[in-house]
Structure 1
Amino acid sequence: MKNLSIAIAIALPLVAALPFPAIADTGNLGSDFSPAMLEAANPAKELSSDDRTTIGVRTARERLSNDSPDWTDSAVSIRRDLGVRHLVEATLVETERFDLSDTQINALYSFPVNAALTATLEGNTSPTHRVLAKNAFGGTLQYEFAPAWLLHGGGKSTRYDDVRVNQGVLMLEHYFSSYSWLVGWRPTRAFGTTAHAVEARGAYYYGDKNSATILIAAGKEAASIGTDVTLTSVRSLVLIGRHWLDKDWAFNYSIGHTRQGDLYERNGIDIGVQYNF
């Protein structure tokens, strides 16, 4: 790919988060997929150094196997690209889980440290925090140690009413031809116990700026189950994609299945549109 290092260098917001559901950060594995994720994974042609603004809207719904009410999310986001590997993004989220409604405000800032190193700072807060965390803060570094090879590492601390959850991330990513793959490890510390999760991703880039990604994740996590936070096992399989309708409008989607230990299974879909100007 032409200028591949430009394309993959913005991928940090993507690897700081797991895939599905796509909007609210509930602390669940696969729950904090950033709207920047698909943008980050696209070829260099899309990721120019020109200043631009992107606005997006998204909605998601998940059905649970234990007859609990459906989970729903909606969000509006605004992103400003300030240059190559340099962006700021803010998102307002409304979510409903287990008949509990929450509002969450997310912010992300990514910037180049040097030609090979990119840093990202992210945080969120929920003024209601009935099912979501009170707040979370984290940072990640992305290092291109060889052409088309990236190493990602970082951590995040999430505060609930009664517990603090600390999570690390270490990932290896490689781009080749019209494809990329990623493998990662996520240790989580909560309740005096360390849990571990692993993930793998494979992406295909087609047309001018389009992409489709398969994500698989498994392990243990600290998950928000209603008003309680607990360590559970989890298995997730997700398809995520972006398809450009023209040079300014894009359609985003994700379809996923998650098994949350013996508690329930979740099947969901997330759709959204974005506009660049």
Structure 2
Amino acid sequence: MGRAQLVTGQGGIPRKWQQVALMGLTLLVAPYLVADEGRTELEVSQRYEHLDNGFAGWQAQRLDAQRRTVSGITWYGAVLRERRYGNWDEGVEAGVAIPVGENWVIQPEAGKTFDDSFLPKGYVDLRVQRLLPEGWIGSASLRRTEYDNSQVDRLALGGERYWGNWRGAYTLNISDVEGAGSPIGHMLALDRYYNDTSFVGIRANTGREEEGLPDGRVFTASVSGFGLRGRHWLDADWALSWDLGWVSQGDIYNRYGAQIGIRRAF
């Protein structure tokens, strides 16, 4: 992957960050660039989380795939397998980011779980992103998540800004949990791109969130967390992804997690 040039484009955003922003995948794939001729990338990852208060550890495996076409449309999907509370759940996710004009991206996404012991039965999500002046990007998404005995509707409103080699972002999550209230959460992110494709960043979140239990019920609890993550490209085709984090789920438990992934570009 060649080095991108820092040419300023519309809204004061360098063109290399415009390419990233207009992919509409800031939560998934914004930390790297995609060649203009189209590109396919696969990543396999393993995560382990230690829980205190006598809870057994969690783990997860994922295989993520992404294809950006010459027209700028990005297709992506994943197969996943997670273990919590002594049970395994498997599922799939898929979505597409479609640029509309020069400033808009529409991103529908859906997921399905096959065992739904603790993960939701499925979800559908629609995200819209708008490129704004002075390096700003605004976004909004609506998501409905189905559990065995409940459903969760969530509105996420976000703003982010690119300047120099930095990206900062804030997201407000407002949820309506059937039978369990209306939790509100906040998320902050700050990334530093130390070359055209590699990055390191921090994440912090606070508020209340929902979580599925093995019996299909959903509960909400106060949540706070902090994490470090990054992706380092070894060359044009291979990269290592990593994530370290801590989450406090109210008085229930603290989770300490680590994830490692290997990414291959074609």
TM-score (ref. length: structure 1): 0.87
Deviations 1:85-118 (A, max 9, x none): 4211121101100101010111111110110001
Specify the alignment match of 1:23 in structure 2: none
Shift of 1:84: 6.1
Shift of 1:66: 1.6
Say whether the 8 Å CA contact 1:184–1:200 is kept in structure 2.
yes
What is the aligned counterpart of 1:273 among 246, 262, 266? Answer: 262
The answer for unaligned runs of 5 or more in structure 2 is 1-5, 8-14
One-letter amino acid of the structure 1 residue matched with residue 25 of structure 2: P
Specify the alignment match of 1:33 in structure 2: none
Shift of 1:49: 2.4
| Structural RMSD (CA) | 1.4
Specify the alignment match of 1:71 in structure 2: 58
One-letter amino acid of the structure 2 residue matched with residue 182 of structure 1: A
Specify the alignment match of 2:3 in structure 1: none
What is the aligned counterpart of 2:26 among 7, 14, 29? Answer: 14
Q: Distance in 2 between matches of 1:89 and 1:184?
A: 22
One-letter amino acid of the structure 2 residue matched with residue 14 of structure 1: T
Specify the alignment match of 2:185 in structure 1: 197
Specify the alignment match of 1:245 in structure 2: 234
What is the aligned counterpart of 1:122 among 84, 105, 109? Answer: 109
What is the aligned counterpart of 2:135 among 143, 148, 163? Answer: 148
Say whether the 8 Å CA contact 1:47–1:84 is kept in structure 2.
no
Deviations 1:132-179 (A, max 9, x none): 110000010110121421001011100000000011100110000111
Answer with 1 or 2: which has the greater Rg.
Answer: 2
What is the aligned counterpart of 1:40 among 22, 30, 33? Answer: 30
Shift of 1:13: 2.7
Say whether the 8 Å CA contact 1:5–1:147 is kept in structure 2.
no
1:138 aligns with 2:125: yes
Specify the alignment match of 2:90 in structure 1: 103
Specify the alignment match of 2:212 in structure 1: 224
One-letter amino acid of the structure 2 residue matched with residue 40 of structure 1: A
Q: Distance in 1 between matches of 2:251 and 2:71?
A: 44
Q: Distance in 2 between matches of 1:238 and 1:181?
A: 15
- The count of corresponding residues between Structure 1 and Structure 2 is 251
One-letter amino acid of the structure 2 residue matched with residue 206 of structure 1: Y
Specify the alignment match of 1:58 in structure 2: 45
Superposed structure 1 runs of 4+ greater than 6 Å apart = none
Say whether the 8 Å CA contact 1:52–1:276 is kept in structure 2.
yes
One-letter amino acid of the structure 2 residue matched with residue 270 of structure 1: Q
Specify the alignment match of 1:171 in structure 2: 158
1:207 aligns with 2:219: no
Q: Distance in 1 between matches of 2:201 and 2:22?
A: 18
Specify the alignment match of 1:24 in structure 2: none
Say whether the 8 Å CA contact 1:241–1:254 is kept in structure 2.
yes
Shift of 1:48: 2.8
- What is the SS of the residue equivalent to 2:37? coil
Q: Distance in 1 between matches of 2:71 and 2:189?
A: 24
Say whether the 8 Å CA contact 2:246–2:256 is kept in structure 1.
yes
